[in-house]
Amino acid sequence: MGPVKLVVVDLAGTVADYGSRAPAGAFVELFKRNGVEVSDAQARGPMGMEKQDHIRTMTQIPDIAEKWRAAHGRDCSEADVEALYKQFIPLQVNALPAYCDLIPGTLEAMSELRGRGIRIAATTGYNTDMMNVVLECMKKQGFEPEAAVCASDVPAGRPAPWMILECMRRLGVYPAEAVVNIGDTIPDIAAGLNAGVWSVGVTRTGNMLGLSLDEADALDGAARKARLEKAGAAMAQAGAHFVAEGIEHCPRIVELIDSMLAQGARP
């Protein structure tokens, strides 16, 4: 079966918001406003999940759970998680316009894929309001996916496969081996595997490195190489079929997948 018919891309850290900084900063600020200091690494740990699931997972980190007890005199409850999420929504929506720049290479990669007749869809752990801010901002810069699905559109966000499968349903694309999912987090990789599609991870531009373009460029060569290798190894261990530094490399990967499909390979 083949060739590839659909590429599904994550938003933050994959095609926009180099370093996936909008959500990371919002989570740090959210907990700070509730008397709990969290690190950037702790905020990034569950990245890729639906945002309320992300908050819940953060509250279960022992260090954060202990700080919550110290600040509030009790364990963090599900009601607290819901209250935190309600606070998070406007915090994130207001922060997004400053973090919507397309990642370099996105327009060229998407144009090349579309030139081959490949359709483009997007998924995100954001809710509808957040997603729409990013989509509108990307549209002004020249990129608009044919379909866009957020975690609140489906029964569960990543690592469940539903967002990818919903993109396939909306665009009428099947079978799964004709689909490539691209993302910058471990839950992105897992969602691709759970959907039975090809799963591709990007390391340099997203959550795994967690740096802005300028910060990434400022790293000395050896340090950058070591961090990218560590990120790539984590994605490979999670089951990624391919790992690249950024979206600009993905048309070549899709070409390779086409060749593999022609030889009878499957995800």
| Residues facing residue 51 across a β-bridge | none
- H or E element in which residue 68 lies: helix 62-72
Question: Active site residue: 5, 10, 67, 184, which one?
Answer: 10
SS3 47: coil
Distance CA 180, CA 164 (A): 10
Position 263, amino acid: Q
Distance CA 121, CA 15 (A): 12
51 given a catalytic annotation: yes
- H or E element in which residue 201 lies: strand 198-202
SS3 175: coil
Question: Active site residue: 5, 17, 32, 51, which one?
Answer: 51
Pair of tokens at residue 111: 């144009």
Beta strands 242-244 and 198-202 are parallel
- What does the angle CA 60 – CA 66 – CA 68 come to, to the nearest 5 degrees? 80
67 given a catalytic annotation: no
In the block, residue with structure tokens 């591709």: 200
* Phi/psi at 242 (5° precision): -145, 150
Residues with catalytic roles:
10, 51
